[in-house]
Amino acid sequence: MDTAVREVKEETGLDVEIEGLVGTYTDPRHVMAYDDGEVRQQFSLCFKGRLVGGTPREDGTETKAVKWVPIDMIAGLQIHPSMRLRIDHALDPARTDPYLG
């Protein structure tokens, strides 16, 4: 969990406290191809966190924008389906176990 806290700080400027694991996510059909020629299958751990401090910034190497979005506006955002799945899982109050997939 220390890695998740460090990555959030590095990429967004925000300090978070991890509240739990949302799930593990991978899909053989979701392949990442980078400009340097590296190609790999995505695998990620998604954590739910709570903001505890920091100042938002957008100068991370993997961050295009940092902003707060009201939950009722998320459905209208253009988000990759794999990211939307993580958000839906994190916001689902009925989900008590991490997603394994």
Q: How many domains does the chain have?
A: 1
In a domain, 6, yes or no: yes
The per-residue pLDDT for 60 is: 65
In a domain, 84, yes or no: yes
CATH number of the domain at 13, please.
3.90.79.10
Two tokens, residue 32 = 């990442």
In a domain, 101, yes or no: no
List, in sequence order, every residue forming a beta bridge with 99; answer none if it has no partner: 23
In a domain, 73, yes or no: yes
One pLDDT digit (tens) per residue for the chain, 101 residues: 899 999 999 988 999 999 999 999 998 888 889 999 999 988 899 999 999 999 988 776 777 778 889 999 999 999 988 889 999 999 999 999 999 98
* Residues of the domain holding 83: 2-95
> What is the pTM assigned to this prediction?
0.80
Q: Kindly provide the b/e burial profile for residues 46-73, where b requires at least 16 CB atoms within 10 angstroms of the residue's own CB.
A: bbbbeeeeeeeeeeeeeeeeeeeeeeee
